Structure 1
Amino acid sequence: MAREFGRNARVSSQMQKELSLVLQRDIDDSRLGFITINEVVVTKDLAVAKVYVTVLNVDEQGKKANVKLLNEMSPVIRHQLAKRMRLRHISDLRFYYDDSFDTGMRVSELLSGLDKRDEG
């Protein structure tokens, strides 16, 4: 019988919490904007973790710059994460921008535009 909440899911969830704390408390870089960790997807062997982030209050170029900076800082972030998590091996971190928030905001704008058109 398969577990409903397997080890990968538990590691992903804990890694998301700990990464949020690491970025909030341990990484002090003025070039980074307000970063939110949306999701962490860990491979089956826990070798690689894909970290999906959102950066608020920046333009498209700023989003790309923040993700690039996070990927450059991934060894430092990984080291801080290793101090917080009780795992023998910490996954390699790869940061990606999650555009689902932007897509959701765009859909919301379009829907509110339809409501205004219907009222008028």
Structure 2
Amino acid sequence: MSQIRVQKLSKQIERDVTDIIMNEIKDTKVGFVTVTGAEVTSDLSFCKIYYSVLGGENRREAATKALLRAKGFIRSELGKRMSTRKVPDLIFEIDESIEYGNKIDMMLADLRRQGKM
């Protein structure tokens, strides 16, 4: 499959999974999840869904468990929305780049307050 088609499909899956999580899943633990990206393999067998969770470590663990429980439902709903014959297997991975960026922002703010910048 062409790289452009795979990229378009990744973006469509990202939008659809976000919509499914926000509107279809009733588990309150998933309410703190934000889908930040999706990467589909070229043979459409797997799709990594990157997500972040607001809150502390406890919310992250609860949201991860809730997503894993809802994985089959999300995949079946995704299959209804996709125009391909094959629905990729979903792999959920935490995107820690937002937390990393916030940590760097806090460090820079501390340096500014101390007058070192």
Common fold, TM-score beyond 0.5? yes
Letter in 1 for 2:15: K
User: What secondary structure, in the 3-state scheme, does the structure 2 residue paired with 1:73 have?
Assistant: helix
* Aligned structure 1 segments of 4 or more residues deviating by more than 3 angstroms: none
1:66 aligns with 2:73: no
- Select the residue among 26, 45, 49 that pairs with 1:47: 45
Aligned length in residues: 115
* Partner Cα distance (1:71, 1:7) in 2: 27
Contact 2:37 2:50 (C-alpha < 8 Å) held by counterparts: yes
Q: TM-score scaled to structure 1, two decimals?
A: 0.88
Mapped pair 1:100 → 2:97? yes
The RMSD of aligned alpha carbons is: 1.5
- With normalisation by structure 2, the TM-score equals 0.90
Match of 2:33 among 19, 32, 35: 35
Point out the more displaced range, 94-103 or 60-69.
Answer: 60-69
Q: Does 1:11 align with 2:15?
A: no
SS in 2 for 1:22: helix
Task: Give identity over the alignment, percent.
Answer: 30
SS at match of 1:72: helix
Q: CA deviation at 1:64?
A: 2.2
Structure 1 unaligned spans of 5+: none
SS at match of 2:28: coil
